[in-house]
Amino acid sequence: MSDSSQRPKVTLEDLLRLKRAERPDAEFWGKFERELRQKQLTALLQKRPWWQELPQLLARRSYLPLGATAVLAFTLVSIKYYAPSQLAQEETRLNDSATVAGNMTVTSSAISPVTPVSSALLNRNDQAVSRLDDRTALAAMNVEMPAADQNIEVQMPQMVAPKEIETPSARSIAANLARLEQSEPELINSVVGNRLSSPARLQTASLQVNDLASMPTSASKRSRLLAQYSDRQLAPEPTAPAIVRERLSRRLGDPDLYDRISRLGVRGDAVSLKF
Amino acid sequence: MNLTKVFTKAIVTSPERQQEADADFMVVKKVQAGDVAAFDQLILKYRERVFGVVYNLTANREDTSDLTQETFIKAFQSINRFQGHCSFFTWLYKIAVNTSLSHLRKNRLRSFFSLEKIQEDGTNAQLLEQLTDKNGADRDTYLHELQQKLNEAMQKLSIPHRTVITLFEIDGLSHSEIAEVVGCSEGTVRSRLHYAKQFLQGELGKYIRS
């Protein structure tokens, strides 16, 4: 080690400038060039992975509109198929209301083909039930269901049975049916089930409807339940045998009744009966 | 030519650098158009400067050779991404610095110095005469000792400080160019430079006059 105290001192900048003089010789650069050329050829032949080309592709201006369109399309598809839960609930509610409306239309149209006697009886019963249905369902809809359930309100008038026509024939049919209910309750029960106009059954039905109406469920669920209930009430009984139904209709038919009544004569203090 | 001036005016400060940047950009355009051989001009022009940056950061001549080649290969592969927002040499320096820093981080525990011999050509002769006793017999020994002490002191600096002082004092880049290459503000560059000089003066106190 030399004696550095006797050496001339320089600045730090001069000393650092000395570093510029640390350079390799010409032979080194010859070797460097050969190696670099070889590596350059290898890099030219080497296939680069696609993710390294991605920034270059994105940087091209011609791809910008295409990319923007793709992003927009993807966003729209995402919004359509992966909507938030609120939209999904709204959609479910709309579907429910459509189902209820469809059920109501079907059941109201199914009332018409029933025979005149049963339709008159059912009308009386259905009128009461449908009034209850209307009141509860409409109350529920007015309170809880927004504009999405307006279809139900539009469809509800179809549920309302036509006004009862108080014809003599209908009155006599009702009387006959009341007698028949007392004499053969099983037969009546098997044929028409709980559709009779007995006050107790009517009261039970109204209580059931009230219970349903007071349930703290959502409007759609309540409407669905009410629709199911009314459907069950108005649909023809599937368990009633065909023979019994035919016999009953024969016995209660208008020509038969007219024939029976015409054979009964009342004159002053005498009653005549034709056989 | 005007187009290149628009692209490169943000970083390039002096008119000479501006002309250099414009010339480089024309060559780059040729390479981007498919003239691969044009890239050799850029290699010949910048290989010694890139070598110097890498060498002063790593202090190992074998590693420096590999890293310099790697720098040019990376630049060649990414030449299509260069759009002239900065000068080509700033862009190339950035690649060189990042490649070197990545190498230093990977080989943090391995510190082996292999120094280049000081080339005593015309430009360095006056400086070498100042540094050494021209009549002394142990001139070469003293130069070697000085070189070793300087390298040791440089390697004691942290990588960001070493980078800044290398680019400023050895390669002659401006503060704004260093900020562009390193990716920090000019204030940070000045601060790091000041700290690095203070540290080196402390380490090399007996060789330099304050």
Could you tell me if B172 and B90 are in contact, meaning their C-beta atoms sit under 8 angstroms apart? no
Considering the domain boundaries, does residue B192 fall inside one? yes
Check which CATH number belongs to the domain holding B88 and give it: 1.10.1740.10
User: What does the pLDDT read at residue A146?
Assistant: 45
To the nearest whole angstrom, how far is the Cα of A7 from the nearest Cα of chain B?
A: 6
Regarding whether B99 and B51 lie in a shared domain, the answer is yes
Regarding whether B100 and B24 lie in a shared domain, the answer is yes
Regarding whether B195 and B104 lie in a shared domain, the answer is no
Note if the pTM is more than 0.80: no
Considering the domain boundaries, does residue B1 fall inside one? yes
Check which CATH number belongs to the domain holding B199 and give it: 1.10.10.10
Chain A residues in contact with B118 by the CB 8 A cut-off are 18, 21-22
Q: What is the ipTM of this complex?
A: 0.75
Could you tell me if B156 and B70 are in contact, meaning their C-beta atoms sit under 8 angstroms apart? no
Measure CB to CB from residue B207 to each of A9, A23, A33 and give the nearest one.
A9
User: What does the pLDDT read at residue B147?
Assistant: 80
- A10 in contact with B, Cβ within 8 Å: yes
Considering the domain boundaries, does residue B8 fall inside one? yes
Chain B residues in contact with A7 by the CB 8 A cut-off are 131-133, 142, 207
Considering the domain boundaries, does residue B128 fall inside one? no
**B116 and A24: CB-CB below 8 Å?**
yes
Regarding whether B100 and B5 lie in a shared domain, the answer is yes
Regarding whether B148 and B91 lie in a shared domain, the answer is no
Chain A residues in contact with B120 by the CB 8 A cut-off are 21
Regarding whether B19 and B71 lie in a shared domain, the answer is yes
Regarding whether B176 and B82 lie in a shared domain, the answer is no
Could you tell me if A93 and A150 are in contact, meaning their C-beta atoms sit under 8 angstroms apart? no
Q: In the listed set B95, B110, B125, which residue is the last one of a domain according to the structure?
A: B110
Regarding whether B103 and B8 lie in a shared domain, the answer is yes
Considering the domain boundaries, does residue B118 fall inside one? no
Cα torsion A9, A10, A16, A18: sign: negative
The domain of B146 spans 138-204
Give tens-digit pLDDT for A182-196. Answer: 887 777 776 666 555
CB atoms under 10 Å from CB of B93, counted, come to 25
Regarding whether B102 and B145 lie in a shared domain, the answer is no
Q: How many CB pairs under 8 A join A and B?
A: 125
R_g over Cα of chain A: 46
Regarding whether B146 and B106 lie in a shared domain, the answer is no
Regarding whether B156 and B99 lie in a shared domain, the answer is no
Considering the domain boundaries, does residue B2 fall inside one? yes
**B118 and A48: CB-CB below 8 Å?**
no
To the nearest whole angstrom, how far is the Cα of A11 from the nearest Cα of chain B?
A: 5
Considering the domain boundaries, does residue B185 fall inside one? yes
Chain B residues in contact with A41 by the CB 8 A cut-off are none
Give tens-digit pLDDT for A86-111. Answer: 556 666 666 666 565 555 544 444 44
Regarding whether B85 and B38 lie in a shared domain, the answer is yes
Considering the domain boundaries, does residue B143 fall inside one? yes
Give tens-digit pLDDT for B15-62. Answer: 777 888 888 889 999 888 888 888 888 999 999 899 989 988 888 888
To the nearest whole angstrom, how far is the Cα of A75 from the nearest Cα of chain B?
A: 29
Please state, in angstroms and as integers, the Cα–Cα distance from residue A220 to each residue in A88, A223, B180, B200, following that order: 14, 5, 65, 82
Give tens-digit pLDDT for A131-164. Answer: 544 454 444 444 444 444 444 444 444 444 444 5
Total domains in the fold of chain B: 2
Confidence of residue B175 (pLDDT cuts 50, 70, 90): very high
B165 vs A58, higher pLDDT: B165
A window 47-106, beta carbon within 8 A of B: 48, 55-56, 59
Q: At residue B2, does pLDDT exceed 60?
A: no
Confidence of residue B91 (pLDDT cuts 50, 70, 90): very high
Return the closest-CA partner of residue B167 out of B189, B195, B147. Answer: B189
Measure CB to CB from residue B200 to each of A12, A20, A43 and give the nearest one.
A12
**A10 and B72: CB-CB below 8 Å?**
no
